[in-house]
Amino acid sequence: MFTHPTYALQAVKSLAFQRIPIAVTSTFKGLFFEEKVAPIKVGPDYVIFRAPESPMQRTLHDQVILHSHVLPQSVRTDLQSFDASRSEITLTNFCFTGAYWRDRREQRIEPPAPLQASITFEKKPYRANLNNLSLHGAGLMVYFGDDECRDLVVNKPVEVSFHLGSQSDIHISGSVASIRQMNYTLVKLGIRLEPTPNQGIWLEKYIARRKFEILRELDQLSTHPSLIQL
């Protein structure tokens, strides 16, 4: 019912005509940003909004996601332009994402670089890279090589092992939350982590420290209106 781009455009225009602010979301190195912005002007195939405040302003890239409790689904849209002098953004090419918006329960971060990790299921370890991390979740790229054992399904119990900073290797139990086959040897996994109380304290400290580093990096970026390449 909501698949045609015209429906998404008209839905966003309807909010704009009523002067109803809409939430703009973006990410930078895993860190999630969200701010409600006010509509300013409606065009034939675009809507101009007040730009979000800094530092979120510097996280906007080619595509952003809009959501509102009065929209049937979240909306994906292209950032056509960003006028820093007027503090305005122009959005175009609206389309529904096909999913209802769900608030992120925990802040997620990306390490400074993908970290070596391993994932074990059915007593066999596989080499992986840890790409992002939250208190109860992790994103990994897993390398199976020529191994034909691919009995990996959602909710399957696993153990994730990785090393951060001066901490010795940490081994956290969990289960598979999502699976995306990239090619024959490479799989992208979302893991639901089940840390012990001590592991949870350690993860919270690392995530808070990494969040501070990311925010500091944003603060140090030039305020030139050119967009950040993520």
168-191 tens-digit pLDDT: 788 999 999 999 988 888 999 999
Question: In this predicted structure, what is the pLDDT of residue 214?
Answer: 92
Predicted confidence band of residue 222 (pLDDT cuts 50, 70, 90): low
Mean pLDDT of 49-59: 87
Look at residue 225 and tell me whether its pLDDT is greater than 50.
Answer: no
Q: Which of 139-143, 215-219, 225-229 has the highest mean pLDDT?
A: 139-143
Predicted confidence band of residue 5 (pLDDT cuts 50, 70, 90): low
Count CB neighbours of 140 within 10 A.
25
Task: Identify whether the C-beta of residue 132 lies closer than 8 Å to the C-beta of residue 110.
Answer: yes
Query: How many whole angstroms separate alpha carbon 204 and alpha carbon 75?
Result: 31
CB-side neighbour CA atoms (13 Å) of 139: 13
Mean pLDDT of 90-118: 88
Mean pLDDT of 133-140: 96
Query: How many whole angstroms separate alpha carbon 84 and alpha carbon 50?
Result: 10
Question: In this predicted structure, what is the pLDDT of residue 105?
Answer: 78
Look at residue 227 and tell me whether its pLDDT is greater than 50.
Answer: no
In the chain, the domains with their CATH numbers are 5-96 (2.40.10), 115-216 (2.40.10.220)
Q: Which of 2-6, 71-75, 220-224 has the highest mean pLDDT?
A: 71-75
Look at residue 67 and tell me whether its pLDDT is greater than 60.
Answer: yes
Average pLDDT, the chain: 87
Question: In this predicted structure, what is the pLDDT of residue 100?
Answer: 80
Look at residue 37 and tell me whether its pLDDT is greater than 70.
Answer: yes
Query: How many whole angstroms separate alpha carbon 200 and alpha carbon 121?
Result: 22
Identify residue 124 by its one-letter amino acid code: K
Query: How many whole angstroms separate alpha carbon 189 and alpha carbon 187?
Result: 6
Alpha carbon distances (Å) from 175 to 4, 44, 56, 90: 36, 47, 33, 41
The region that residue 38 occupies, defined by phi over 0 for left and psi between -120 and 50 for alpha, beta otherwise, is beta
153-172 tens-digit pLDDT: 899 999 999 987 766 788 99
